[in-house]
Amino acid sequence: MDEAQVKAATLNYVRKMNGRRRKPVVTAEFSLGSSGVRADLVVFADTVIGFEIKTARDSLRRLPSQMHAYARYFDHAVAIVAPSHLKNLKFDDLQGASLWTYDKRGDVTVLHVGNQNNVGPDALLDVLTQSERRKRHYAEAMIARYGPTSRQFWDTVGRRAICAEDLPLLSRFSESRDQAKRWASHRKDRWSHWLAAQDALVAASA
């Protein structure tokens, strides 16, 4: 399974555990302030949970430092690793995080329940923009920032199983990226037409 498929499996499991009527605010690729670390998935509910995914193609080399950052910013941290990594994983690498794994069918298994972290106010401020710091508390800021895309995501998937193709809906910038791709394609087409016209002029004057 690739990362997108593992993310989908994780969200299916989270939805199952929370009940289908509860739809928490979720996002992907969440920057952990000044740490230089990005969380693969984040769930904002009664507590904030950060998920780090390691597929079979990934290395565990950065996992200890990533989990150390997760412990500073999230109430709970979860490392979701491919079965092939389990034999090489050291317990200290988790830095107090929970450990989950998954199988080829996308079924998630909880192997270890980690600690609840003590997240300080400095860490919460570190993930807020200057504007958010002036206007909102952390929870309100996260709902305002990720609530719209999260609602769109849950409305789109409805009651069906979440799949990898649904993940782009969690990006706040997916619409602008799509627009940029369309504009780039449009410019490429115009350039091709211009070159063809020039070739035709050269051929006509020969």
Q: Which of 15-29, 53-67, 71-85, 95-109 has the lowest mean pLDDT?
A: 15-29
Q: Are residues 136 and 95 in the same domain?
A: yes
The mean pLDDT of 174-184, rounded to a whole number, is: 43
Q: 10 pLDDT exceeds 70?
A: yes
Name the residue range of residue 87's domain.
3-172
Question: If pLDDT is split at 50, 70 and 90, which confidence band does 206 have?
Answer: low
- Classify the C-alpha dihedral 81-86-92-96 as positive or negative: positive
Q: Are residues 165 and 202 in the same domain?
A: no
- Give me the number of domains the chain comprises: 2
pLDDT at 176: 39
Same domain, 32 and 134: yes
Are residue 106 and residue 29 in the same domain, yes or no? yes
Same domain, 24 and 100: yes
Residue 191 has a pLDDT of: 66
Looking at the predicted structure, is the pLDDT value of residue 95 above 60? Answer: yes
C-alpha span between 102 and 105 (Å, rounded): 8
The CB density around residue 193, as the number of other CB atoms within 10 Å, is 10
Percent of the chain, pLDDT > 90? 76
Q: Note whether 49 and 39 are same-domain residues.
A: yes
Residue 22 φ/ψ region, left for φ over 0, alpha for ψ in the -120 to 50 degree band, beta for the rest? beta
- 102 and 192 share one domain: no
> Pick from 94, 93, 111: which is nearest to 102 by CA?
111
Q: What are phi and psi of 43, to 5 degrees?
A: -115, 120
Q: Residue 147: is its pLDDT beyond 50?
A: yes
Per-residue pLDDT band for 94 (boundaries 50, 70, 90) equals very high
Residue 23 is predicted with a pLDDT of: 87
Token pair in block for residue 168: 């782009």
| Averaged pLDDT for residues 124-148 | 92
Give me Rg for the CA atoms of the chain. 22
Q: Is the pLDDT of residue 182 over 50?
A: no
pLDDT value at residue 136: 85
Considering the domain architecture, whether residues 146 and 206 belong to the same structural domain is answered as: no
With a CB cutoff of 8 Å and minimum separation 6, the contacts of 83 are: 101, 102, 103
